[in-house]
């Protein structure tokens, strides 16, 4: 009985969160931007793919007509065309999640309903769970739309409909977006709940987004010695691979610092996982799904850890929602 | 005391209630008992501690010392049970602007564990003579309309005690009259105990059965309206009585 | 009167926690750009020495040090990324605060009950914004010069200082574009968070979406100081590439790379041409913001 009342309240709060978010203009504008540019990105990829497949077919036909029987396989992977779409989810999806979290707190504060909620027989855990579930439902809807558009674009324009194994990998990549965006949602809630002024909370969350999503991965990339010289340092020195590895063995600390910096970034783990699932990296192309998931276990663990830690912080924020302003009517 | 049945105990009991904000004593040991069925007017100048008292009684904040009980339930130890018994209308009531009145009421009914939230919301709107507001978005409402929907959210789960914080603030004369009639109906027809913070002494005289006067965090006077007017026979209005009480008469 | 408005705006910014936080991030990143430059420079020299030692042991020919051919300012190549990332967001927030604070606090109503014209008001805001952004860039320039002195172990030549000055000058115009976008949304929006998010949306489109359409650059590729357009043989890009000259973020990065000599040099006239769309956009936006302020109903509050 208590369980059913409990879940009824959580569902009520989640539905409330979902509806409020769905009716919000700011969020609607952001989602529209994300869907539009993801579509553009997949469209560009699909046009590119379509034209490269045509080039490849011309090459095969020319080879056959000149009597060559062995031709190179098609060097393209259809899923890798979604790289741009996932990069947009990484950048804009995180902003959308932050705004969702911000709205969740701002709505109660600006409409003066916080007091009404706090005088109802509901616990802070129920409120935290309800709002998080509502937000996750919004994120899931968004991903469903984005995924459907991506599959359609690849099929209709690229002329290549995804096979079930590819669909499964795409689904897994989209599923990884839920903890990724969920972590940013929690960040938006936590910072807005603690900020004196609502917009300061939003801006603080955006500063963190800037650092985690854009700056840290970029710093890690630039620290790569091989990226310092056009064409790669070792290539410009004319050094073979064994010598390169011998040299690099002496710079393990530097490489560790660089790697640790990337490891600290939630965005980098999301990127590594989704790129692995969408065949962006050549080295994963021959892998079975089990092998791939095993290879990506570190990224999965990091995503889950971030989500859990920020989820706990979210619950704490609801528990310690600021006390009421002093006094009554001015 | 917490084991007493909520139905037997006094509606509100304050025992040495204290509250401190930073270094400032806002409530300095209040003792008060309000029986069931009263309409209690809580008077005091700005900053005297009225809203802080309501905030404690509605479980929004914890007292620094002393205890507060609603229907025998301690607000600190059993906040969830207290919340099931109370209704609350804050000053400057606002609800979700993007939702209609009915959607707002349904939402709060669900959170209060009401069995059939939609019909409860509709019945309450009907009871308060504002069924015409059901389908309209709250964002478009005037202060008076917001107040009526605010009262509806406070009573739709049939509370035993209703807390009203400055309910007449910002209302026009017809709004004030409508509110007065609503309070009287809720009290006489449904038996709801009402605890009302207010500045409007003329309304207190018309609607309350007893009053308390708070001055700098201390309860300096409490009695029924009848006894009060009998005690100050030379004062024609409650305003005159209030001024004398505050002055320490 | 204009100076009064500008001074008041600078005071507001000085007391804004968010502005201080982003300013600190910007300066930290400038310092970090220098530090990363120094660290990778140091590492590469050691890598080179180690390679030379190994190659000598193997009796192979010794290649030239690739760093010898790198210009001294190349150390700061990351700055051309931090300005469009952090600098532009900082500028958006400066612009937002400039126009929003007066509206949100209700001070605008009081202001316009005084004998001040809308044109003087908006000029004061532009002046305050320009001074604030120039101050940020000046601090960044001092840090950059210090990094150059420390890493290269010599004082930059006059020519290099001149190049740095040109780079920061162009950066100021680029950041002003985003400050004006922030202002435009702060005037037209009735909701504060909508104004911030919408301005951020414009930044996203100009920084990531336009370069993808005009040059096939994926979003994360846009974060690289060296921007090699993805080689695409398609007619799609042959058409969209015509719009590349007006893609302000690409033009900014290209002209910065040219000024800092991190990419092959191009003629000064060609570089100057790249600044034209940025300047034109800033001018257009300034006119637009002026028009919006002139027509805005300041008696209406925020949501």
pLDDT at C70: 65
Contacts of A74 (CB under 8 A, 6+ apart): A53, A56
Question: Which residue did the predictor score with more confidence, A253 or A276?
Answer: A276
Asked if the model's pLDDT at residue C251 lies above 80, the reply is yes
Integer Cα distance of C192 and B249 in angstroms: 52
User: Where are chain C's structural domains?
Assistant: 2-38+74-295
User: Where are chain A's structural domains?
Assistant: 2-319
Q: Cβ(C43)–Cβ(C226) under 8 Å?
A: no
* Stretch among B126-130, C95-99, C159-163 having the lowest mean pLDDT: C159-163
Integer Cα distance of A236 and A221 in angstroms: 19
Integer Cα distance of C90 and B216 in angstroms: 47
Q: Which residues of C touch A198 (CB under 8 A)?
A: 192-193
B217 close contact with A: CB closer than 8 A: no
Total domains, chain B:
1
Residue B2 in domain: no
Q: Chain A closest CA to C115's CA: distance in Å?
A: 31
Strands B193-197 and B39-44: parallel
Q: What ipTM goes with this model?
A: 0.75
Pairwise CB contact (< 8 Å): A20 & B86: no
Strand-pairing partners, residue B73, are B70
As a whole number, mean pLDDT of residues C171-175 equals 96
Pairwise CB contact (< 8 Å): B197 & A328: yes
Pairwise CB contact (< 8 Å): A9 & B58: no
Identify the burial level of B75 via C-beta atoms within 10 angstroms of its C-beta, where 0-12 means exposed, 13-18 middle and 19 or more buried. buried
Nearest to B61 among A23, A323, A330 (CB): A323
pLDDT at C229: 52
Chain A residue at shortest CA distance from B49: A327
Asked if the model's pLDDT at residue C132 lies above 70, the reply is yes
Q: Chain A closest CA to B184's CA: distance in Å?
A: 23
* Stretch among A97-111, A197-211, B56-70 having the lowest mean pLDDT: A197-211
Q: Which residues of B touch A22 (CB under 8 A)?
A: none
pLDDT at B175: 86
Q: Chain A closest CA to B112's CA: distance in Å?
A: 6
Q: Which residue has the tokens 């990829």?
A: A45
pLDDT at A328: 41
pLDDT at A327: 42
As a whole number, mean pLDDT of residues C185-205 equals 87
Q: Cβ(C182)–Cβ(C96) under 8 Å?
A: yes
Asked if the model's pLDDT at residue A229 lies above 70, the reply is no
Q: Chain B closest CA to A133's CA: distance in Å?
A: 16
Residues of A with a Cβ under 8 Å from any B Cβ are 5, 8-9, 12-13, 16, 19-20, 23-24, 107, 111-113, 115-123, 323-324, 326-330
A303-308 long-range contacts (CB < 8 A, ≥24 apart) are A303/A176, A303/A179, A303/A180, A303/A183, A303/A266, A303/A269, A303/A270, A303/A273, A304/A179, A306/A179, A306/A183, A306/A266, A306/A269, A307/A179, A307/A182, A307/A183, A307/A186
H-helix or E-strand spanning residue C27:
helix C17-58
As a whole number, mean pLDDT of residues C236-251 equals 79
Neighbours of chain C (3+ CB pairs under 8 A): A
B95 close contact with A: CB closer than 8 A: yes
Pairwise CB contact (< 8 Å): A214 & C205: no
Residue C277 token pair: 């769309």
pLDDT at C303: 62
Give the pLDDT band (50/70/90) at residue A326. Answer: very low
Chain C residue at shortest CA distance from A241: C51
Q: Chain A closest CA to C108's CA: distance in Å?
A: 19
How many whole angstroms from its chain centre is CA A138?
14
Nearest to A115 among B90, B97, B110 (CB): B90
Integer Cα distance of A54 and A52 in angstroms: 5
Q: Which residue has the tokens 């952001």?
A: A30
Dihedral (CA of B10, B15, B20, B26) sign? positive
* Stretch among A91-95, B193-197, C217-221 having the lowest mean pLDDT: C217-221
Pairwise CB contact (< 8 Å): A327 & B93: no
Q: Cβ(B200)–Cβ(B183) under 8 Å?
A: no
Asked if the model's pLDDT at residue A55 lies above 90, the reply is no
As a whole number, mean pLDDT of residues C136-149 equals 85
Asked if the model's pLDDT at residue C231 lies above 60, the reply is no
> How many other C-beta atoms lie within 10 A of the C-beta of residue B154?
25
Contacts of B48 (CB under 8 A, 6+ apart): B214, B215, B216, B217
Integer Cα distance of A231 and C228 in angstroms: 12
Residue A89 token pair: 């989810």
Q: Cβ(A232)–Cβ(A226) under 8 Å?
A: yes
**pLDDT beneath 50, residues of chain B:** 1-3
Identify the burial level of C177 via C-beta atoms within 10 angstroms of its C-beta, where 0-12 means exposed, 13-18 middle and 19 or more buried. buried
pLDDT at A78: 77
Pairwise CB contact (< 8 Å): C21 & A204: yes
Q: Which of A205, A232, A173, A170 is nearest to A313 (CA)?
A: A205
Q: What is the pTM of this model?
A: 0.80
As a whole number, mean pLDDT of residues C19-42 equals 77
Q: Which residues of A touch B54 (CB under 8 A)?
A: 328
Largest Cα span, chain B: 53
Q: Which of A107, A119, A324, A325 is the best residue to mutate to test the B interface, defined by the most B CB atoms within 10 Å of its own CB?
A: A119
Give the pLDDT band (50/70/90) at residue A226. Answer: low
Asked if the model's pLDDT at residue C223 lies above 80, the reply is no
Nearest to B83 among A8, A119, A329 (CB): A119
Chain A residue at shortest CA distance from C74: A228
Q: Chain B closest CA to A163's CA: distance in Å?
A: 43
Q: Chain A closest CA to C122's CA: distance in Å?
A: 23
Q: Domain containing B161 — which CATH number?
A: 3.40.50.300
Q: Which of C100, C113, C286, C266 is nearest to C187 (CA)?
A: C100
Q: Cβ(C91)–Cβ(C178) under 8 Å?
A: yes
Q: Which residues of A touch B52 (CB under 8 A)?
A: 326-328
As a whole number, mean pLDDT of residues A113-138 equals 90
Pairwise CB contact (< 8 Å): C55 & A239: yes
Pairwise CB contact (< 8 Å): C47 & A251: yes
Q: Which residues of A touch B98 (CB under 8 A)?
A: 20, 23-24
pLDDT at C101: 83
Q: Chain A closest CA to C294's CA: distance in Å?
A: 26
Q: Which residues of A touch B61 (CB under 8 A)?
A: 323-324
- Residue A24 backbone class (left: φ over 0; alpha: ψ -120 to 50; beta: rest): beta
Q: What is the mean pLDDT of chain A?
A: 82
pLDDT at C227: 53
Integer Cα distance of B165 and B168 in angstroms: 9
Distances, alpha carbon A105 to alpha carbons A132, A204, B86, C97, C108, in Å: 12, 15, 25, 22, 28
Give the pLDDT band (50/70/90) at residue C228. Answer: low
Nearest to C212 among A84, A202, A238 (CB): A84
Residue B61 token pair: 């904040």
Pairwise CB contact (< 8 Å): A118 & B111: no
pLDDT at C69: 63
Strand-pairing partners, residue B24, are B21
Q: Which residues of A touch C25 (CB under 8 A)?
A: 207, 210-211
Question: Which residue did the predictor score with more confidence, A239 or C159?
Answer: C159
B42 close contact with A: CB closer than 8 A: no
Contacts of B199 (CB under 8 A, 6+ apart): A329, B43, B166, B169
Q: Which residues of A touch B58 (CB under 8 A)?
A: 115, 119
pLDDT tens per residue, range A1-16: 456 778 889 999 999 9
Nearest to A204 among C18, C58, C191 (CB): C18
Q: Which of B54, B48, A154 is nearest to B63 (CA)?
A: B54
pLDDT at C56: 83
Give the pLDDT band (50/70/90) at residue C222. Answer: low
pLDDT at A179: 94
As a whole number, mean pLDDT of residues A95-103 equals 91
Nearest to A25 among C194, C196, C212 (CB): C194
Distance between start and end Cα atoms, chain B = 35
Nearest to B111 among A19, A120, A326 (CB): A120
Q: Cβ(B111)–Cβ(A36) under 8 Å?
A: no
Report the percent of chain C where pLDDT is more than 70.
89
Q: Cβ(C36)–Cβ(A223) under 8 Å?
A: yes
pLDDT at A131: 92
The residue segments making up the domain with residue B203 are: 12-246
pLDDT at B76: 93
pLDDT at A330: 32
Distances, alpha carbon B113 to alpha carbons A298, B94, B151, in Å: 44, 22, 18
């Amino acid at each position: 009985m208590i369980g059913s009342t409990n879940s009824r309240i959580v569902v009520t709060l989640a539905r409330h969160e979902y509806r409020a978010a769905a009716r919000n203009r700011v969020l609607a504008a952001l989602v529209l931007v994300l869907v539009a540019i993801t579509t553009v990105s997949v469209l560009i990829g699909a046009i590119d793919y379509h034209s490269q497949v045509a080039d490849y077919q011309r090459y095969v036909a020319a080879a056959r007509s000149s009597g060559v029987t062995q031709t190179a396989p098609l060097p393209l992977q259809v899923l890798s065309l979604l790289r741009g779409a996932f990069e947009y989810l990484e950048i804009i999806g995180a902003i959308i999640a932050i705004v969702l979290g911000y709205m969740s707190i701002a709505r109660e504060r600006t409409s003066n309903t916080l007091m009404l909620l706090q005088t109802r027989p509901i616990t802070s855990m129920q409120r935290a769970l309800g709002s998080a579930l509502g937000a996750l439902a919004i994120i899931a809807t968004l991903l469903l739309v984005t995924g459907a558009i991506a599959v359609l674009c690849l099929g209709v324009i690229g002329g290549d409909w995804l096979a079930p194994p590819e669909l499964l990998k795409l689904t897994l990549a989209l599923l990884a977006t839920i903890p990724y965006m969920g972590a940013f949602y929690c960040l938006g809630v936590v910072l807005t709940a603690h900020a004196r002024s609502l917009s300061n909370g939003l801006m603080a969350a955006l500063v963190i987004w800037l650092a985690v999503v854009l700056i840290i991965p970029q710093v890690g990339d630039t620290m790569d010695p091989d990226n310092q010289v056009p064409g790669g340092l070792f290539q410009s020195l004319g050094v073979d691979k064994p010598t390169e590895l011998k040299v690099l063995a002496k710079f393990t600390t530097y490489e560790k610092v660089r790697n640790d910096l990337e490891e600290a970034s939630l965005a980098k783990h999301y990127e590594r996982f989704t790129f692995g699932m969408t065949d962006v990296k050549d080295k994963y192309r021959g892998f079975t799904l089990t092998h791939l998931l095993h290879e990506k276990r570190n990224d999965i663990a990091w995503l889950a850890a971030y989500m859990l830690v920020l989820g706990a912080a979210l619950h704490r924020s609801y528990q310690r929602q600021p006390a009421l302003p002093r006094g009554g009517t001015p | 005391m917490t084991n007493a049945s909520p139905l037997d105990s006094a509606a509100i009991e304050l025992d040495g209630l204290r509250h401190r904000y930073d270094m400032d004593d806002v409530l300095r040991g209040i003792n008060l008992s309000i029986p069931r069925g009263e309409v209690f007017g809580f008077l005091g100048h700005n900053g005297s501690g009225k809203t802080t008292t309501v905030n404690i009684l509605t479980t929004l904040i914890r007292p620094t010392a002393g205890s507060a009980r609603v229907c025998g339930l301690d607000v600190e130890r059993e906040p969830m049970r207290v919340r099931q018994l109370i209704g609350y209308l804050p000053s400057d009531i606002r609800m979700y602007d993007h939702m209609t009145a009915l959607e707002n009421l349904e939402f709060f009914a669900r959170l209060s564990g009401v069995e059939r939230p939609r019909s409860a919301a509709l019945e309450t709107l009907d009871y308060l003579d504002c069924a015409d507001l059901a389908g309209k978005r709250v964002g478009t409402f005037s202060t008076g309309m917001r107040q009526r929907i605010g009262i509806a959210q406070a009573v739709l789960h049939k509370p035993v005690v209703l807390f009203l914080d400055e309910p007449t603030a910002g209302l026009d004369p017809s709004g004030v009259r409508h509110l007065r009639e609503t309070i009287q109906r809720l009290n006489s027809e449904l038996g709801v105990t009402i605890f009302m913070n207010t500045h409007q002494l003329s309304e207190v005289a018309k609607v309350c059965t007893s009053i308390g006067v708070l001055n700098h965090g201390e309860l300096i006077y409490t009695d029924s309206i009848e006894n009060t007017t009998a005690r100050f026979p030379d004062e024609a209005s409650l305003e005159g009585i209030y001024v004398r009480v505050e002055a320490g008469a | 009167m204009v100076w009064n408005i500008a001074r008041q705006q600078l005071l507001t910014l000085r007391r804004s926690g968010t502005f201080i936080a982003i300013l600190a991030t910007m300066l930290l990143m400038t310092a970090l750009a220098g530090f990363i430059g120094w660290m990778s420079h140091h590492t590469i020299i050691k890598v080179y020495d180690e390679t030379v030692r190994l190659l000598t042991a193997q009796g192979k020919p010794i290649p030239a040090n690739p760093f010898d051919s790198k210009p001294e300012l190349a150390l700061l190549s990351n700055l051309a990324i931090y300005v469009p990332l952090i600098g532009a967001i900082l500028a958006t927030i400066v612009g937002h605060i400039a126009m929003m604070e007066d509206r949100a606090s209700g001070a605008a109503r009081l202001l316009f009950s005084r004998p001040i014209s809308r044109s003087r008001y908006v000029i004061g805001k532009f002046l305050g914004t320009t001074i604030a952004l120039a101050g940020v860039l000046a601090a960044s320039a001092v840090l950059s010069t210090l990094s150059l002195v420390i890493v290269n172990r010599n004082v930059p030549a006059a020519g290099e200082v001149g190049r740095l000055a040109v780079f920061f000058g162009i950066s100021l115009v680029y950041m002003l574009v985003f400050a004006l976008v922030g202002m435009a949304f702060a005037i037209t929006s009735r909701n504060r968070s909508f104004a911030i998010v919408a301005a951020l949306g414009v930044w996203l489109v100009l920084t990531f979406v336009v370069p993808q359409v005009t040059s096939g650059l994926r979003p994360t590729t846009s974060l690289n100081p060296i921007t090699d357009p993805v080689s695409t043989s398609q007619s799609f890009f042959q058409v969209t590439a015509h719009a590349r000259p007006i893609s302000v973020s690409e033009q900014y990065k290209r002209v910065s790379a040219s000024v800092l000599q991190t990419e092959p040099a191009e003629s000064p006239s060609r570089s100057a041409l790249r600044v034209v769309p940025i300047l034109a956009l800033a001018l257009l936006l300034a006119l637009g913001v002026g028009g919006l302020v002139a027509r805005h109903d300041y008696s209406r509050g925020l949501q």
